[in-house]
Copies of this chain bind each other. A is one copy, B any other.
Amino acid sequence: MTLKNVAERAGVSVSTASRALNGQARKYRISRTTEKAVRKVADDLGFQASQVARSLRLKRSGLIGVIVPDVSNPFFASIARQVSLGVEASGFSVLLGDSREETAIEQRLARQLRAKQVEALLVCPVGVSCDHLIQLDRAGLPVVVVDRVFEGIELPCVTSDNLQAARELAEVLIRAGHRRIGVLSGVRESLPAKTRLQGLRTAAEQAGFTIGPSYVAGDAFTEQSGYDATQELLDRHPDLTAIFAMCNPAAIGAIRALHERGYTIPGDCSVVAFDDHPSADLMKTPLTVAVQDISRLGRLATDVLLERLDLQPTGHQVDATASSPSVQGVTARSNSDRWQVPTTLLKRASVAEPCR
């Protein structure tokens, strides 16, 4: 079914058929009679214009690339979902890429998606570098980075308000009296990890103590890393009274490690973490957590993306504020913007006063 078929069967030229179907009838003075006729034929034949041909001509693919480290992780799945739903209204579809937490794959995917002519790229980067993304952006492919931000990244970034969240989370521990707090870090060089650590340390300083480097372990946002880091911390500081996990999987790992060592939570060791778990209330150890508003994160990212494409955002206006006035000098483009989404603190039973 091509437009040509429709045109022939309607007894008009291809151009007329095209205009009739695209609502350009008035503009090009196609008579109502002709318009209806074409429409009817198209309906009867079940005609669907080839987006490929259309893309070629219009130089607009209607495709948005989304690259995440692991789609089966609900956090990223939710983001992918929000983007998918958000851009759909504007006629876009989402091309999905799973980088399996590897920068090399991320790069390959980015190239592959570019070849498919995606009009924009939304990436949750995996590694510590994203020169390839910056290059793409410079080459004219709008890139938006979500969650795993880096410093001086020169790309529009959407994240949670990690500083504030970390501070609040830390204060829960500090007010309960904890001073020897172990930190399960995510990817060290990533901005979320750095910012959260900074938030924690700020809170500690205000309470009159510091958290030394030996109290920080781990280097990935994974359960395994949380488990290993906890073991490491407990070896180094058997007198640890609390654990501050930078993501939920790490907290799960910590719980496993603590259980293995016979520690009770929060009796022997309190635990707080970033990100909630859908059925947290049914867990043996209901964690006190800083909840990221994932769907808002996804929506915001989508809006930033659509804005960069000069399209109307999807209805829910971009309600976060660009925070940092300007990053590292460089060109004063809008792509040094940072967008932040507030988090919610959820107190649960995993924090008690230290008994040691």
- Chain B positions within 8 Å of A78 at CB level: 71-72
**Could you list 15 examples of A-B contacts with CB < 8 Å?**
A48-B114, A48-B115, A51-B117, A66-B96, A71-B77, A71-B80, A72-B78, A74-B74, A74-B77, A84-B98, A85-B98, A93-B116, A256-B282, A283-B284, A284-B284
Smallest CB separation, A79 vs chain B (Å): 9
Give A252 to B84 CA distance when docked, in angstroms. Answer: 27
The contact of A282 among B48, B72, B283, by CB within 8 Å, is B283
Give A61 to B115 CA distance when docked, in angstroms. Answer: 12
Within 8 A of B (CB), among A108-153: 111-117, 139
The stretch among A52-60, A180-188, A231-239, A323-331 that forms the contact with chain B is A52-60
Query: Is A49 in contact with chain B by the CB < 8 A criterion?
Result: yes
- Chain B positions within 8 Å of A97 at CB level: 84, 93
Query: Is A17 in contact with chain B by the CB < 8 A criterion?
Result: no
Q: In the complex, which residue of chain B has the Cβ closest to the Cβ of A62?
A: B116
A72 touches B62 (CB 8 A): no
Give A63 to B81 CA distance when docked, in angstroms. Answer: 19
| Known contacts A71-B80, A80-B71, A85-B98, A279 near B282 by CB under 8 Å | no
The contact of A98 among B81, B115, B252, by CB within 8 Å, is B81
Query: Is A203 in contact with chain B by the CB < 8 A criterion?
Result: no
- Chain B positions within 8 Å of A66 at CB level: 96
- Chain B positions within 8 Å of A98 at CB level: 81, 84-85
B282 touches A252 (CB 8 A): yes
Within 8 A of B (CB), among A36-92: 46, 48-53, 55-56, 61-63, 66, 70-74, 77-78, 80-81, 84-85
Smallest CB separation, A281 vs chain B (Å): 8
Within 8 A of B (CB), among A307-342: none
Give A114 to B152 CA distance when docked, in angstroms. Answer: 41
Give A66 to B284 CA distance when docked, in angstroms. Answer: 36
- Chain B positions within 8 Å of A255 at CB level: 282
Give A113 to B62 CA distance when docked, in angstroms. Answer: 11
Query: Is A194 in contact with chain B by the CB < 8 A criterion?
Result: no
Give A135 to B156 CA distance when docked, in angstroms. Answer: 43
Q: In the complex, which residue of chain B has the Cβ closest to the Cβ of A50?
A: B117
A52 touches B49 (CB 8 A): no
A71 touches B81 (CB 8 A): yes
Query: Is A94 in contact with chain B by the CB < 8 A criterion?
Result: yes
B61 touches A70 (CB 8 A): no
Smallest CB separation, A325 vs chain B (Å): 34
